[in-house]
Structure 1
């Protein structure tokens, strides 16, 4: 099992969810709003003639625990649907998951996801 964590632009969330649903990969998903900074280093915006530097930008994190064989499909879907071609599109991280347990039934391993 793998834990996939994708950090994307908030405006791409609907596209990503729809693409995952089309591929049959939209189950067991956790979505969080975050603020962050990567190599983009923020942006400068002007409001009423004043310039403001925003070094922490709004992002969305998508967390999924999936079967090993689903990882290439999900990575491909995320890359295609979240990409704008501009700096700050995000990142995908893949971690090993040692164990999963469904609290309600006691199922373990892949049966729990």
Structure 2
């Protein structure tokens, strides 16, 4: 299994979630987060904003679906201009997953 964590612009999160659901991946955890990337925030005049609002989407999929999910997120999270701040996707290995209510392993 793979855990996919995607940090995306807030205005792109609803389209990403919609496209994931349409493709058969409805199970997602979403959190409002703040942060900055390589660009070190945004400077407007004399003020630097280090805490840029983003959405963190987290999901776990079987290994064979990870590339498809990453592709859906990448395609739909871009601004079109490919600007800094479009986001980042992290894919990590998941050793186990269990359903709390039943205790059953797996997704």
Q: TM-score, normalised by structure 2?
A: 0.91
- Indicate the SS of the match to 2:55: strand
Residue deviations 1:25-76, cap 9 Å, x none? 122x110111101112111236xxxx42201211110000111111011000
- Indicate the SS of the match to 1:39: coil
Residue 64 (structure 1) aligned with residue 56 (structure 2): no
- Indicate the SS of the match to 2:102: coil
Instruction: Give the equivalent residue in structure 2 for 1:96.
Output: 93
Instruction: Give the equivalent residue in structure 1 for 2:13.
Output: 13
Asked which structure has the greater CA Rg, the reply is 1
**Unmatched 5+ stretches in structure 1:** none
Instruction: Give the equivalent residue in structure 2 for 1:108.
Output: 105
Instruction: Give the equivalent residue in structure 2 for 1:26.
Output: 26
Instruction: Give the equivalent residue in structure 2 for 1:44.
Output: 43
Length, aligned pairs only: 105
> 1:83: how far off?
0.7
**Unmatched 5+ stretches in structure 2:** none
